[in-house]
Amino acid sequence: MPIIKVKPNQKINLAEIDPADTGKVEKDKANEILTQNIQRMAELQNVLYAEGKHALLIILQAMDAGGKDGTIRKTMSGINPQGIRVTSFKKPTEEELSHDFLWRVHKVVPPRGMIGIFNRSHYEDVLIVRVRKLVPKNVWQTRYDHINHFEQLLTNNGVTILKFYLHISKEEQKERLLARLNEPDKCWKFNPTDLDSRAHWDDYMQAFADIFEKCSTEAAPWYIVPANKKWYRNVVISETIVQTLESLKMKYPEPAEDLDKVVIE
């Protein structure tokens, strides 16, 4: 499957990656695999929670209408809600702005035994602040190292990090934004600021490329997911999550005492 795992220091040109690529995977087969992956994730989540030695942090980044919400809804449909927390990062509050840029992020990192999903993330602090010139260049440039050190700290403390960029084309984004305008159950999602971001498309593509080069590490790699086809996006992300959880070699803990001796009257 043509999902791209970015190597450390690898230069990426998003214009050279086809967002409609699905390899040789057929939709029906992909949906079949997705169903299997959802069931397997539910099994692995139970072990993750019971063992309590690892946490999984999934970071989703994309342009507006890129499919972050849909990815969460589809791929996590089998997960026990008690074992997962989704955090959406909006415009920082006054309290958050009075701290360092990672303060609001660190406090919502999943504890061991839990899965956390970031819908947008600390990477906004080297994306929108850069493109819209909200902070000086010398400020956002230093944040790449801060992010790498932060993510290494989490990894050292049992947090496995998966970072997915949902790669859609500008034409696909247009269709999805039009759907938000024209469909009654989607028009509430339309925000005029989406058009402002669209006007800076090329600047965002360069900002993402720099993120991949500077912040894809062995500890916390970036994955670029061709995401024009939602069904393909869902199956490759679910597949990556399953493989990652299986690689942790988790197991249920032994009972605290010999259960053969327990008598229930």
Give the pLDDT confidence of 58-111 residue by residue, as tens digits.
999 999 999 999 999 999 999 999 999 999 999 999 999 999 999 999 999 999
Q: Looking at 123-189, which runs of residues are DSSP E strands? A: 159-167
Q: Could you give the 3-state DSSP secondary structure of residue 198?
A: helix
d(CA 257, CA 191): 57
pLDDT at 214 over 90: yes
pLDDT, mean of residues 140-164: 98
User: Considering the entire predicted model, what is its pTM?
Assistant: 0.94
Mean pLDDT across the chain: 94
Q: Measured on CA atoms in the order 216, 217, 222, 223, is the torsion positive or negative?
A: positive
HEC sequence for 7-56: CCCCCCCHHHCCCCCCCCCCHHHHHHHHHHHHHHHHHHHHHHHHHCCCEE
Q: What is the pLDDT of residues 254-264, one digit of tens each?
A: 887 777 777 78
pLDDT, mean of residues 113-125: 98
User: What is residue 265's predicted lDDT score, i.e. its pLDDT?
Assistant: 82
pLDDT, mean of residues 135-160: 98
User: What is residue 39's predicted lDDT score, i.e. its pLDDT?
Assistant: 98
User: What is residue 259's predicted lDDT score, i.e. its pLDDT?
Assistant: 75
pLDDT, mean of residues 171-187: 85
User: What is residue 1's predicted lDDT score, i.e. its pLDDT?
Assistant: 59
Structural domains in the chain, sorted by start:
4-252 (3.40.50.300)
DSSP state of 126: G
Q: What is the pLDDT of residues 191-207, one digit of tens each?
A: 777 788 899 999 999 99
User: What is residue 199's predicted lDDT score, i.e. its pLDDT?
Assistant: 92
